[in-house]
Amino acid sequence: TYVVGEACIKCKYMDCVEVCPVDCFYEGENMLVIHPDECIDCGVCEPECPAEAIKPDTEADAAEKWGELNREYATLWPNITRKKDAPADADAWKDVENKFAEHFS
Ligand code: SF4
Ligand code: F3S
C-alpha cells in the first residue's frame, strides 16, 4: 500500500485524490491519509504530490510511523474524491520539518 506522510501536513495540495482510481483518500483538517485496505498499489498518486508526501510502505519510515496512522485515521475521517483549494499558505509549509507534533490532524 501507499502511505501519506508528514510532508502533507499543512500543505494538503489534494492533487492525489484526483488521480486515485479507487478513491481511497480520507481527509483530516491538515492532511490526508490513505486507507491501506482500499489502496491497490497502483502508484499513480506518488509523483502527483507537490510535497512528495506519498511513499510506498516498503520504505521503512513510511511503514513504521505513518502506516499505522494512515490505517487508524482512514476509518475516522471522511472520504475525499475531489480536489479542493489547497491552503493559502501551503507553499510556505512545504519544506518545514517536524510538522507532526503541532499540526497533525
Ligand atoms: Fe490510490 Fe493508487 Fe495512490 Fe493507492 S497508490 S492511494 S490506489 S492512487
Ligand atoms: Fe497531501 Fe500531497 Fe495529497 S500534500 S493532500 S498527499 S497531493
User: For cell 501551503, what's the residue?
Assistant: 90
Distance, C-alpha 14 to centroid of its chain: 8
pLDDT digits over 17-64, tens only? 999 999 999 999 999 999 999 999 999 999 999 999 999 999 887 788
CB burial of residue 9 (10 Å; 0-12, 13-18, 19+): buried
**Ligand 1 neighbourhood includes 43 CB (under 6 angstroms):** yes
Instruction: Report pTM.
Output: 0.96
Q: Which residues pair with 55 in a beta bridge?
A: 3
Asked if residue 17 has its Cβ within 6 Å of ligand 1, the reply is no
User: Hunting for cell 483530516 — which residue is that?
Assistant: 28
Domains of the chain: 2-84 (3.30.70.20)
* Euclidean distance between CA atoms 37 and 30, whole angstroms: 22
Ligand positioned closest to the Cα atom of 37? 1
Q: Is the CB of 3 inside a 6 Å radius of any atom of ligand 2?
A: no
Q: What are the residues facing 33 on neighbouring strands?
A: 26
